[in-house]
Structure formats: C-alpha cells, structure tokens
Amino acid sequence: MKNKLRELRAAKEWSQSDLAEKLGVSRQTVNAIETEKYDPSLPLAFKVARLFKKSIEEIFEADGD
Amino acid sequence: MNKPNLPDELEPGKRDYSVRKELEVNGWGYVGLALSIGGEALIYFHQDWPITLRTVIALAPIVPALLWGRVFARWVRGMDELHRRMTVEVCLFATTATLFVFTALHPLVKFDVFEASGNRDSWLAWLMDWHSWLLTSWLLICFYMLGGMILRRRFK
C-alpha cells in the first residue's frame, strides 16, 4: 500500500519520533509505514487521517488503484 | 500518549535495554528457572522423601511460570501494533521450532543413540535430556532471538 505519510510529516516539520509520540506508536512503526513495509491497521489509519485532517483515501492508496 | 513497550527493552546490548524492565517482565521466569534447578537437585539428593513432597517440589515451578506468562502477555499488550504482531509471530516461531526439536530428539533418545555414541555421560547427553526445563528455556530463548532477527530485517 502506498502512502503520503512522509510528505505530510515533512510539511509539518515533524520528526519520526514526534509523529510516533502523537500517534502513540514507536518510531520504528512510523518508519515501517513510511517505507511501505508495513500497512497500518484501520484504527491507526484513522488516527493518522484525523491528525493530518484528511481522509484515509487522501493518505493511503491501495496497490493497483 | 503513553510510550508503547518495545521488544528492544529486553534485549541486552540494545539502546532501549533496561535491567529494571528485564526484571519486571522476566523476573518470575528467573524464579521459575531457579526453583526448577533447585528442585531437581533436591529430588536427586533426597529420593527417600515422601512422594507428596517430591511432587510438590517438582511442580512448584509451574506457579512462577504462570505468573511470568501473565506479566509477559501484559507487556506484549502494551506494545504498538507492529511490535505486538512481530512479538506474537516470534513467540509462535520459537514455540513451534522448540516443539520440532523435541519431536526430532525423541526417537534419538528412545533408541539410545546418545548412549550408543558413547555420549551418555557427556554434557551433551545431559543437555539433551528432553525432560529438562533448562533445555526448553535455552531453545526458546535461542529461537526467540533468531526469529526476532529475521523479522526485524523484514521491517527495517
């Protein structure tokens, strides 16, 4: 699954640790999502969307869409 | 937000490793291991003790083992979703691999392969005693670390 997490985080000038703290996850998890090695669960995807005030579809894009 | 638990907290040499956390999570495990080793020695040297007492001594490590399982499960529940998934997968790998080794060892012990090879009194034969809690713990730890290394590489 592709995502725009890195760009959104950079736009806010947050480090991975800052974002991890806001989401209540570890920095490694943020890194794994950004590098598209791990797809977050639906609750975490909603948390990300709420944090950046966007819809899930605007941040995450399923492969082949 | 609360900081989630990390698997690195229990791995010596890692930046997040903490002895306090190690004792908090694995403390009951160490108590169980000590009771197991001490109990085996007691029973070995006092085989004339009543059967009830020997049974109590032999089964005593089960109590700290259950308490350790409870604390470990709580620690895993305190992780974020990626690390929780990784830890559950590593535990499954470690227990399956340990079970596989025991299954493979069973016919070797049953058909006296170690005895025939002259290893009966060696440290290997002692370690290969498939009733030993020490061997179980050692295999579980080794497979847990191996599984952890493989999974960390996948998500790095």
**Nearest residue, CB atoms, A21 vs list B1, B83, B156:** B1
**Which chain B residues are within 8 Å of A45, Cβ to Cβ?**
none
- The answer to whether A25 contacts B155, with C-beta atoms less than 8 Å apart, is no
The residue to which tokens 């990390």 are assigned:
B6
Contact B98, B139 (CB under 8 A): yes
What are the residues facing A2 on neighbouring strands?
A61
Contact B37, B134 (CB under 8 A): yes
pLDDT at B8: 84
Tell me if ipTM is over 0.90: no
Largest alpha-carbon pair distance within chain A?
A: 31
- Record the tokens describing residue A11, joined without a space: 């736009």
pLDDT of B137 > 70? The answer is yes
Distance (Å) from the alpha carbon of B123 to chain A's nearest alpha carbon: 41
**Whole-prediction pTM value?**
0.81
- Record the tokens describing residue B48, joined without a space: 């004339």
Q: Structural domain boundaries of chain A?
A: 2-52
In tens, the pLDDT along B47-76 reads 899 999 999 999 999 999 999 999 999 999
In tens, the pLDDT along A11-48 reads 999 999 999 999 999 999 999 999 999 999 999 999 99
Looking at residue A62, what DSSP letter applies?
-
| A2-52 homologous superfamily | lambda repressor-like DNA-binding domains (1.10.260.40)
pLDDT of B121 > 80? The answer is no
